[in-house]
């Protein structure tokens, strides 16, 4: 009897403990990105643009060249990197406070210009690193430190559905929303991120994946309860699926 390894840490991911809280999905999504970089053999031509929030330290976990962008500006910085080095693979990894609030202008216009960059958008409905404040994606009624009685649509508006908005823009070649709460969803996420990377390497256009994710600490939940919340509360409001795949159509 001999045995072979069927699952282990991808090469692009450093063998290092993360600073994330127990049950946080960032680690899972990092690993998926690492696996895809390995499988597509992109690691050595990748330039990561990191954002602000818990995910700023992605550069400590992925073995790639990286530059730190100011809060929300990763798509603009990535535009600069890509325009300067069109032959490189450039992607951003942003949270919902970063991308859907302070960085709304940058993400919309980078997508609309059809920048040949890929964006991994991690939506956990809360500002994580700063301590659990209300985000543009915070669910109706969800309690945070800045909406202690729960998000109230009358004064805060409704949570923003980014994937649907991004899919409506001309320069976007691929746009999807996925989750990593179950193995089935996780496999879909991997497929989607791979497509979002492929549309860049093929030069088709802008690639975007919104990944629904947990923040057990700021949700005041156990990791298991938080994981259950994805299916129970988030997916009904943030439906999963591919919103655009411009393979067949002409992409601006």
Return the range that interacts with another protein (CB under 8 A); candidates 4-12, 128-136, 151-159, 200-208: 4-12
What is the three-class DSSP state of 174? strand
Beta-strand pair 126-127/133-134: antiparallel
Return the range that interacts with another protein (CB under 8 A); candidates 18-26, 128-136, 162-170, 200-208: 18-26
Count of residues interacting with another protein (CB under 8 A): 66
| Closest CB 95 distance from another protein, rounded Å | 15
| Local structure of residue 147 (DSSP, 8 states) | B
Of the candidate residues 33, 36, 54, 78, the single one contacting another protein (CB under 8 A) = 78
Site for another protein in 93-132 (CB under 8 A): 105-106, 108-109, 113
Nearest to 160 by CA among 172, 177, 182, 173: 177
Q: Using CA atoms, how far apart are residues 125 and 130, in angstroms rounded to an integer?
A: 13
Contact string (CB under 8 A) for another protein, positions 156-195, x = contact: ------------------------x-xx--xx--------
Return the range that interacts with another protein (CB under 8 A); candidates 62-70, 93-101, 165-173, 240-248: 62-70
Q: Which two tokens stand for residue 220?
A: 């005041």
Of the candidate residues 80, 164, 165, 201, the single one contacting another protein (CB under 8 A) = 80
Contact 117, 78 (CB under 8 A): yes
Q: Is 91 a residue that touches another protein (CB under 8 A)? A: no
Q: Which two tokens stand for residue 157?
A: 């508006």
65 vs 140, beta carbon nearer another protein? 65
Q: Using CA atoms, how far apart are residues 42 and 13, in angstroms rounded to an integer?
A: 13
Return the range that interacts with another protein (CB under 8 A); candidates 8-16, 139-147, 196-204, 242-250: 8-16
Contact 180, 211 (CB under 8 A): yes
- Phi, psi for 190 (deg, rounded to 5): -60, -45
Strand partners, 172: 206
Q: Is 41 a residue that touches another protein (CB under 8 A)? A: no
Q: Is 58 a residue that touches another protein (CB under 8 A)? A: no
Q: Using CA atoms, how far apart are residues 1 and 168, in angstroms rounded to an integer?
A: 55
Q: How far is CA 116 from CA 78, 166, 215, 251, 252, in A?
A: 9, 14, 30, 11, 11
Residues that bind another protein (CB under 8 A): 1-9, 13, 15, 17-18, 20-28, 31, 43-47, 49, 56, 59, 63-70, 73, 76-85, 88-89, 105-106, 108-109, 113, 180, 182-183, 186-187, 216, 223-224, 227
């Amino acid at each position: 009897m001999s045995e072979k390894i069927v699952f282990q840490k991808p090469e692009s991911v450093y063998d290092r403990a993360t600073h994330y809280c127990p049950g946080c999905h960032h680690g899972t999504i990092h690993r998926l990105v690492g696996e895809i970089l390995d499988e597509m053999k992109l690691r050595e031509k990748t330039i990561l643009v990191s954002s602000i929030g818990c995910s700023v330290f992605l550069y400590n976990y992925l073995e790639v060249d990286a530059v730190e962008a100011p809060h929300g500006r990763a798509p603009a910085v990535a535009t600069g990197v890509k325009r300067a080095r069109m032959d490189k693979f450039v992607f951003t990894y942003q949270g919902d406070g970063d991308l859907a609030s302070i960085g709304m202008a940058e993400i919309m216009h980078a997508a609309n210009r059809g920048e040949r960059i890929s964006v991994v958008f991690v939506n956990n409905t809360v500002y994580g690193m700063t301590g659990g404040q209300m985000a543009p994606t915070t669910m109706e009624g969800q309690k945070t430190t800045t909406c202690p009685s729960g998000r109230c649509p009358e004064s805060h508006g409704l949570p923003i559905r980014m994937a649907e908005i991004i899919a409506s823009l001309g320069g976007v070649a691929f746009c999807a929303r996925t989750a990593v709460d179950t193995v089935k969803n996780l496999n879909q996420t991997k497929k989607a991120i791979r497509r979002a990377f492929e549309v860049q390497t093929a030069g088709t256009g802008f690639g975007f994946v919104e990944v629904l994710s947990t923040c057990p600490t700021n949700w005041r939940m156990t990791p298991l309860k938080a994981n259950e919340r994805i299916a129970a509360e988030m997916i009904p409001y943030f439906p999963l699926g591919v919103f655009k795949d411009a393979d067949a159509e002409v992409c601006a």
